């Protein structure tokens, strides 16, 4: 196996807005899984390594308790739509 290393002359500067966006994306992912009260925090740490400054980022995500749906009903204001919803409920992906 041959390893080729190419040094980066001017590496990009660390941008905290990208880290905040990543944390928001993680919270949104948990939201779609039913974790409506997820909390996030980000810890930045700057290290000196071989005369270079390096940044480490830790994302701390507390998902909390998921919201589970145990009851599902159709309550539509228009009677004809209510009848259609009840007639086609057996073809739905929702398990009753």
pLDDT of residue 81: 94
The gap between the terminal CA atoms of the chain, to the nearest Å, is 57
Q: What is the CA radius of gyration of the chain?
A: 25
pTM score of the predicted model: 0.64
pLDDT of residue 12: 81
pLDDT for position 74: 84
> Average pLDDT per run of 10 along the chain, which is 96 residues long?
75 87 94 92 89 89 89 89 89 74
């Amino acid at each position: 196996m041959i390893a080729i290393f190419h040094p980066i002359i001017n590496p990009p500067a660390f941008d905290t807005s990208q880290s905040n966006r990543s944390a928001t994306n993680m919270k949104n992912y948990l939201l779609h899984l039913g974790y409506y009260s997820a909390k996030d925090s980000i810890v930045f740490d700057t290290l000196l390594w071989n005369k270079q400054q390096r940044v480490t980022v830790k994302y701390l995500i507390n998902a909390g308790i998921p919201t589970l749906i145990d009851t599902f009903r159709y309550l539509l204001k228009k009677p004809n739509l209510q009848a259609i919803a009840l007639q086609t409920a057996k073809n739905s992906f929702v398990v009753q």
